[in-house]
Chain A
Amino acid sequence: MALPKNIYQELEDIVGTENISDRQHILAAYRHPDPSNGRKPPSPEAVIMPGSTEEVQKIVRVCNQYNIKYNAVTSLFVPLGITNQPGKLLISMRRMNRILEINEEDRYAVIEAAVRQVQLKPEVFKRGLTYPTASAGPSCSVLANFIFSGDHHTQQSSSRCSRYLLGYEWVTPTGEVIKVGSLASDCGWFCADGPGPSLRGLIRGFSGWSGGLGIVTKIAIGLDAWKGPRVLPTEGHSPNYKIPFPQDCHKVFIFKFPTLDNVRDAMIEMGKAEIGFAVLKFFYATEAVLYTVSANDFWELWNSGLYQKELQQALWVYLAAWTPEELEYEERIMWDIINEMGGEPVDETIRKKYEENMDFFILVSFLQRVLKLGGGWSPTKLGADSIYHMFEVAKSIPEFFSDFIEKGLVLNAPHNWQIIPMEYGHSAHIELLFFFDHGVPEWPKIPMEVVQKSMETDIRHGYHAATPPPVKALMEMLGPLYSNFQIWRNKIKEAFDPNIVSNPIP
């Protein structure tokens, strides 16, 4: 059912004819069956592209007036970016893509919703700065990852993206524009909090709202110093790019350990010593997918058994320094820890790839290669707690995951999980990533079943490992693990979205 003509006309009057459409072939791009979960999303009724906060506000008010449910999106990469029920208006933030300010002195950047990683990252690099960059590829929205968890490979020395959110501008579900943090007092964008209770947690929390609490139109994010090159020294052509960093100040190591406890303890000790731009236990199969060009290349590498032999209990360490002396200092500490924990370097061919190509740590390039095995992939867990706790969670993975492997439902990669410490060890993120093939008849059920079993295991052990997905039943299921957060969430939703129009969850 299309939007009634009068409503469509009101919306068209706000943005102009070119920026709204309800034509079926235009909407085809928003209802494509998702190969990562098998779901065919219902078509939106129309898509609209506001060009300013004022236009967003007007659109939201029209939606409230006529009880039209809406969903704001920028990229379409994750299922959260597409419609979850019929009758919705899709609000594409695509036109709001300006970088409003990069303040080098106070180290923050102010951006609109649709600024992409591939736009902001080089601009801050040029200024010797960087920011936590979610592992989601070049075209993902920077803003979306700062109002969501936004985990990434280098959060040992920084944090997940959401912890770097500063002032922001927010159009509430009913169409009120609210300025938050220092911005509310006309003091600029530099701070997330004002003198009273902070509203930052209201829109962000641990896992965000997936568009369920209005539309964040502009944000400021904190910036850190960048020790890498200001302009990428890219060589070669797609897909065989090389991006080497100067070896005197940048080094990557990968170590294997006798036990998982050794990996964990090495990670904890490096945090205590505050070394490592990046320290992580990474997915071994995903690494093989990322560093090969074709699916055939992946299979050749995977079938060689090298990664299974070398990377099941391994730790990646990237040391970045301002001077060779600083690097030498960090390296000495690192080796002390590695030796104490019984670590040893993995096969040199694996490490060597990083020397040639530091893409992995820049995080705006080849991450979409993870989709290469036919597009059937899914992450689960995605939660955070202490490093110790996360490793306990990891040890419990075989309890539910082995069954899927034995039945041939997922790629045989039981250790394809990562743990990344944050802020030198205050906490850590865990993620289990699994691949499934569309040739398996029951494949559309696989992702949800893995997630479900994973959650059940967490509940059984009392583990804090799952980020509750925006699905009511799953929130209820996980609620007791997290102080029944869903009760508060529901109350906030009712208070701010009385008409239940802002991306209500199923």
Chain B
Amino acid sequence: MDTLSDYTYTMESCNSCGQCRFLLGPKMKGWEYVEICPIYSRYKFEAYSGQGLINIAQELIEGNLQYEEALIEHIYTCTTCGACDINCKSVRDMEVLDTILSLRARCVEDGQGPMPAHKEYANHVESSQNIYGKPHDQRFSWLSEDVNITEGAEVAYFAGCTTSYMFPEIALNTAKILNAGGIEFTVLHVEEHCCGATLWRTGQRKAAQKQAEYNLKAIRKYGIKTVITSCAECFGTFRGFYPRIQELDFEVLHISQVIQKMLQEGKVKLNRELNMKVTYHDPCLLGRLAELYVPWKGQIKAFGYHDPPKQWRRGTNGIYEAPREVLNAIPGIELLEMTRNEENGFCCGGGGGVPAAFPDFTLWTAKERLGEARSTGAEAVISCCPWCESSFNRAIDSDPRALRYYDLTELVVRAL
């Protein structure tokens, strides 16, 4: 697996140009909503940004900075949303997010990280196969009798911890949609374990690797050719982390892509009118971080030439169109766009283990995002990730002016 020292080129060639902090020029719309990094927006010092974190990484590995509690907190405040990474890679060949994730892994290796709440996640996964410490045998409590599961199907729905335990209605709606579209699918039953997303993104790589290996084995055992998720974190972990362990021999789809295909093929029709002005929030791991990770080993030669050529993840092929196409297919829905959308979407604050360690910062970030959503004139925010839902629900609970939130699957089921 990659390590911090793999990213010395990134650290050494950063010119502090600021691209990691601001909206990309082609997407500019006005004075407001130009900062794309939640920590930079909230804490304002440049050290709270992609640039700052890679500067810190460099000083740490060169021995010019010593661990202290405030430094560890600083490193773990980042939501690992990857906005810095994609913006940097709009102009350069650097790996900002992988440097940040490797920095966290380094903190864990050195016995300095993660935050206590993250260790608790790992403990829960170890004992109960989910990050919440809930009984493993309740993982599929969401399954109801009116859901058709086809044992032996080559398609598996992977619900994930947060959906299964915190937002079971998303799982149920996903299953109903798959049934409605005539897609035969199964589940991994007791062999579905935590995907490892939070462990990976908090630097607990060994624990995350264990989860990945377990799930990959189960997927192969069931003969699965396609894994469908309704959680952006699971989706992004399958595509962004698992290939660091083993090459994937199955495809991973998000439910929004599946619905898009069903609509295109006429397998479902969304007939019921839902009169609503909505805006769509791009989850980080479904949008800019959705591209498949392709391991690269080679040399960086003179003037940045990568030999062999590297397959970059620049956010170009994120899942941006599918959820929008689905929303636009629902009669009565008017989709309004936020300034920071698609690859420049502003994080909900729910990533990178931040909700567990810094819940106030997650709340601040979600409120910021809802403010932007409200500025579009929308009545509701739609997204495709239970982590986003969790962040937004907290913000909505604390602000009576806030909008409503719906998972995409809920609107689709209502419109069926």
Which of A117-125, A207-215, A276-284, A384-392 binds B? Answer: A117-125
Instruction: Give CA–CA (A36, B16) in the complex, Å.
Output: 11
Residue of A nearest to B40 (CB): A94
> Which of B121-129, B314-322, B354-362 sits within the interface?
B314-322
B28 touches A29 (CB 8 A): no
> Are A234 and B16 in contact, with the CB atoms below 8 A?
no
Query: Is the CB of B343 closer than 8 A to any CB of chain A?
Result: yes
1/0 per residue, CB under 8 A from A, across B43-73: the answer is 1111101011001101100000110101100
Alpha-carbon gap, A121 to B22, bound state (A): 14
Instruction: Point out which of A19, A76, A99 has the most chain B C-beta atoms below 10 A from its C-beta.
Output: A76
Complex Cα distance, B300 from A295, in Å, reads 10
The contact of A121 among B12, B14, B28, by CB within 8 Å, is B28
Contact with B along A334-377 (1 / 0, CB 8 A): 00000000000000000000000001001011111101111110
- Contact present for A29 and B45 (CB under 8 Å): yes
A87 at interface, CB cutoff 8 A: no
Residue from A94, A240, A366 within 8 A of B25 (CB atoms): A366
Contact check, A294 vs B25: say whether CB atoms are below 8 A apart. no
- A237 lies within 8 A of B17 (CB): no
Contact status A139-B18, CB under 8 Å: yes
Contacting pair A232 B28 (CB below 8 A) = yes
Residues from chain B with a CB closer than 8 A to the CB of A33 are 12
B404 contacts the other chain (CB 8 A): no
Contact A28 B65 (CB under 8 A): yes
Stretch of B188-196, B240-248, B303-311 that contacts chain A = B303-311
| A238 contacts B28, C-beta separation under 8 Å | no
- A299 to B93 Cα, complex, angstroms: 13
Contacts of B315 in A (CB 8 A): 237-238
Task: Decide yes or no whether B234 CB sits under 8 A from chain A.
Answer: no
Chain B residues near A19 (CB, 8 Å)? 44
Main secondary structure on chain B at its contact with chain A? loop
Check A76 against B303 for contact (C-beta < 8 Å). Answer: no
Q: Name the CB-closest residue of B to A373.
A: B303
A32 within 8 Å of B (CB atoms): yes
A218 on interface, CB distance cutoff 8 Å: no
Chain B interface category by residue count: 35 or more
Assembled-state Cα–Cα distance A77/B19 (Å): 10
Contact string, B4-29, partner A, CB cutoff 8 A, digits 1/0? 00000100111111110111111111
User: Most chain-A Cβ atoms within 10 A of its Cβ — which of B22, B25, B342?
Assistant: B25
B30 within 8 A of A: yes
Interface bracket on A: 35 or more
Q: Distance (Å) between the CB of B55 and the closest chain A CB?
A: 5
Q: Given the complex of chains A and B, what is the CA–CA distance between A119 and B22 in angstroms?
A: 10
A331 part of interface (Cβ distance < 8 Å): no
The answer, among A123, A240, A438, for a CB contact under 8 Å with B31, is A123
Q: How far in angstroms is the closest Cβ of chain B from A31?
A: 8
A30 vs B46: C-alpha distance when bound (angstroms): 8
Picked from A75, A359, A366, the residue with its CB within 8 Å of the CB of B18 is A75
- Contact A239/B59 with A32-B16, A234-B26 known, Cβ cut-off 8 Å: no
Q: What is the bound-complex CA distance between A19 and B44, given in angstroms? A: 8
Q: How far is the CA of A371 from the CA of B304 in the complex (A)?
A: 10
Instruction: Establish whether residues A29 and B46, one from each chain, have CB atoms under 8 Å apart when the complex forms.
Output: yes
Known: A49-B44, A238-B316, A299-B303. A371 touches B59 (CB 8 A): no
Contact of B305 among A120, A231, A296 (CB under 8 A): A296
- For A35, the chain B residues whose CB sits under 8 A away are 12-15
Task: Report chain B residues within 8 Å CB of A120.
Answer: 31
Asked whether B330 is an interface residue with its Cβ less than 8 Å from the other chain, the reply is no
Collect the chain A residues with CB atoms within 8 Å of residue B70's CB: 23, 25
Provide the B387-398 mask, 1 if CB < 8 A to any CB of A, else 0: 000000000000
Question: Of A115, A239, A299, which is within 8 A of B91 by CB?
Answer: A239
By the criterion CB–CB under 8 Å, are A295 and B305 in contact?
A: yes
A-B contact pairs, 12 of them (CB 8 A): A26-B52, A30-B46, A77-B15, A123-B31, A139-B18, A234-B27, A241-B26, A296-B306, A296-B309, A359-B25, A359-B26, A437-B303
Chain A residues in contact with chain B, CB under 8 A? Answer: 18-19, 21, 23-30, 32-36, 47, 49, 75-77, 81-82, 92, 94-95, 99, 115-123, 126, 137-140, 231-232, 234, 237-241, 243, 293-296, 298-299, 359, 362, 364-369, 371-376, 411, 435, 437-439
Top 4 nearest A-B pairs by Cβ distance?
A: A365-B25, A139-B18, A295-B304, A375-B13
